[in-house]
Amino acid sequence: MKWNHHASLRPAMAILLEPLFNSSQLPLPPSSYATVFQSFTGKNLLKQGQQLHAHIDTRGLRPTPFLAAKMVAMYASSGDIVSAARIFHSVPNPSLLLFNSIVRAYSLYKYSQETLHIFIRMHSLNFRGDYFTYPFVLKSIADQELLCIGKCTHLLTMKDGLRFDLYVATSLIDMYVKCGALGDARKLFDEMPVRDVSSWNALISGYMKEGSVGLARELFDEMPTKNIVSWTSMISGYTQNGLAANALQLFDKMLRRGSELKPNWVTIMSILPACAHSSALEQGRKIHRLAQEEGLDSHPSVQTALVGMYAKCGSLPDAKLCFDRIKPSSRNSVAWNSMISAYASHGRGTDAIQTFELMIQAGVRPDSITFTGLLSGCSHSGLVELGLRYFDSMSLDYAVERRHEHYACVVDLLGRAGRLVEAYEFISRMPMPAGASVWGALLAAGRCHRNLEISELAAKKLFVLEPENSGNYVILANMYSEASMWDEARALRALQKLQNVKKNPGCSWIEIDGKAYMFLSEDASYPQAEEIHLLLREVSERMKAAGYVPDTSCSLHDVSEEEKEYSLTTHSEKLALAFGILNTRHGAVLRITKNLRICGDCHNAFKFVSKVYEREIVVRDVNRFHHFQEGSCSCDDYW
C-alpha cells in the first residue's frame, strides 16, 4: 500500500503494519481495524479500504457491529454505497451505531426509500432513534415531501425523548418547510426553548420559497445572530421572487458590515442573477471583482452565473470570456446551456448552433433547456429549416421529451419567417393541447406580419388561457389601431377595462455609473425633463436630415399626424436614450432595458441615432437583444 501522501494516517497504520505483514502473529482486535477504517473515512482512500477489507476476509474475521459501522462509513464516504449496504446486511444483529451509519449513507445519496425501510426495521427491533438518526431520516422524508410520514416521525421524536433536541427540532423545521407545511414549521419554531442560527435560516428559506417575502424579512430582522447562510438565504429569496433591487440593496448592506461577513460562492451565485434581471452591468462587474478578490471566481457555479449575468446585461464578449475560463471538465449542461441561450438572445443563431455541436463533441448530454435555447437561436436568426431539423432530432437522436416551450419555439420559428398558415397547422397537430406560450408565439407572429386574422384567432385563445395578461389585449387593440379600426380598438379596450385587466405601462431603464434610472412612457416626472425634451427635438431634426421618417402607425391614437409624431418622442426607450446621451461621454456604449417589445419607430430611430451620434446602443426588450451600430441592428430588422 502507498501511504506517502497521507502522513496523518501513519500513527494509525503503525498499529497494523507488523501484523499485516507477519502472518505468524495473532489477528488484531476489531477495534484496531475500526480505528484504521475511521482514518480512511472522508479521505478518498477507497482502494486502501478495499485492501484492508480483503485482509480481514482472508483472516476469516467476521466484522462486529462496531467494526461494520466504521466500514459502512468508509465505503459511503468513498461513494461505494453498494459495498456499504452489503456490509450492513451481513451483520445479523446490528447495533444503533451501525443502523445510524447506513441511515446516514442512504440519506446522503438520496436513497430515500431505503432510508425509511431501514428506519422501520430499526424500530421493529425496539431500537430508539437518537439525535444522529432522526436528522437523516427527516432529510429523506423531506426529499420525498412525505408530510404524513413526517408528522408521524415528529411524534416518534417526542416518544424517544428528543422533543427539545436542537438538532432534531431544526431538522423537523426543515422537513416541514420542504413539505410545504409552513404553519407546522412556524409552530415548532415558536415552541423551541432554544434556537440556533440554523433554525432561523430553515424557516426564512421556507418563507422565501413560498413567496412570503415580508414574513421572511421580519424573521431575518429579528435574528439575534446572522451568519453568511442567513444573508445568502435572504438574497437568494429576493432574487427568486423577482425582487432584484431588494437583493442588491441587502447585498450592499452585508458588505458594509466589513470583514465579519465574507460572501461564499453560494452568495455570489445568488446575487449575480439579480444583476442580470436589473441589467445592472456595473454592479455585476463589481461583484465579479469581489469574487476574484475572495478567490471565488474559479468555482464552476460562479463562472456559469457570470456567463448568464454578462449575457443578460448585454455584454456578450464578457459572457464568452467567462465561459472559456471554465475548465472543460467542469462544463456541465448548465454551463453549456447558459452560453447557447446567451447567443440565442443576442440573435447569434449560428454561434448558438456551433456551441451546441461543441457540447455534443464534449460528451455532454443535452436537455430540454438546451433545445429551448437552440431553437430560439434558430428563430431569431431566421434559420428555419435547421431549426426544424433540430426539433425532429430531439426525440430521435437525443431522447429529449418535447415540451410546450419547444413547440412554442417552432411556432415562433415559422411565424417570424412569415409561414403563418404552416405555424397554425403545426399547432393543430400537437400531441397535447396548445398552451399560452404556443398561442402567444402565433399572436406575436401575426402582429409582426400584420396578419389580423391570425392575430384575432390567437388572441381569442389567449383571452381564455390567461385572462389576466393585459399584453394580449394590448397587441390586438394596437393592431386594430394600426389598421384604423378605431371602433374595434375602443371596444377591446373597453372589454379589458370591464374585466379589470390592468395594462402594464411601458418602462425602460438605463444604468449610469452603477445607478439605474427608470423612465415611463408619457411621464414627465423623470430627471432632467427639460434637457431631455430639448435634446429629443434636436435628435429628431438631425435624424430627419439623415433620412429618418417617423412611423406614426406606432402611435396608437386617433389623433392628428403631428400629435402622433409628438407621442412617439414620449416612448420610454427614447427618454432613456436621451438621458444616456446627456449623461455619458461621447462614444460610451448606451445600454437600455425595456419591459415590453421595442416598437418599430423606436427601433428605426435607434438605428439613425447610432449613426448620427456615433454611439453603440444595446437594447434588451422582452424578446431579445438589439445591438445598434453605425445605422444597423444586429437583428436585421427581424424581431
Burial class (CB in 10 A: 0-12, 13-18, 19+), 438: buried
Give CA torsion, residues 38, 41, 46, 50, to 10 deg: 20
Average pLDDT over residues 610-628: 94
Instruction: Give the integer Cα–Cα distance in Å for 307 and 311.
Output: 6
Query: So what's the pLDDT on residue 623?
Result: 83
Instruction: Give the integer Cα–Cα distance in Å for 238 and 277.
Output: 12
Task: For the chain, give the mean pLDDT.
Answer: 90
pTM: 0.83
| Top-confidence range, 56-65, 120-129, 253-262, 368-377 | 368-377
Alpha helix stretches (DSSP H) within 179-243: 182-191, 197-210, 213-222, 228-240
Q: Which amino acid is at 28?
A: L
Q: Does residue 376 have a pLDDT over 80?
A: yes
Q: Does residue 14 have a pLDDT over 80?
A: no
- Tens-digit pLDDT profile for residues 186-200: 999 999 999 999 999
Query: So what's the pLDDT on residue 28?
Result: 67
Average pLDDT over residues 300-308: 97
DSSP string spanning 142-183?
Answer: HHHT-HHHHHHHHHHHHHTT-TT-HHHHHHHHHHHHHTT-HH
| Residues 274, 241 contacting (CB under 8 angstroms) | no
Instruction: Give the integer Cα–Cα distance in Å for 82 and 64.
Output: 19
Query: So what's the pLDDT on residue 3?
Result: 44
Query: So what's the pLDDT on residue 463?
Result: 95
The percent helix, strand, coil of the chain (3-state, each to 5) is: 65, 5, 30
Q: Does residue 180 have a pLDDT over 50?
A: yes
Of 160, 156, 161, the closest CA to residue 175 belongs to 156
Contacts of 117 (CB under 8 A, 6+ apart): none
- Cell output for 549: 421618417
228, β-bridge pairs: none
Query: Which string of b and e fits 537-547 if b means at least 16 CB within 10 Å?
Result: eebbeebeeee
Instruction: Give the integer Cα–Cα distance in Å for 479 and 494.
Output: 16
Q: Does residue 563 have a pLDDT over 60?
A: no
Alpha carbon separation from 107 to 44, 136, 138, 602 (Å, rounded)? 19, 6, 9, 57
Query: So what's the pLDDT on residue 559?
Result: 45
Domain-by-domain residue ranges, the chain?
Answer: 507-633
Q: Does residue 555 have a pLDDT over 70?
A: no
Q: List phi, psi (to 5°) of 595.
A: -80, -10
Q: Which amino acid is at 374?
A: L
Average pLDDT over residues 399-406: 97
Burial class (CB in 10 A: 0-12, 13-18, 19+), 291: buried
Query: So what's the pLDDT on residue 60?
Result: 81
- Tens-digit pLDDT profile for residues 448-504: 899 999 999 999 999 999 999 998 998 999 899 888 899 999 999 999 988 888 877
Query: So what's the pLDDT on residue 93?
Result: 93
Query: So what's the pLDDT on residue 21?
Result: 43
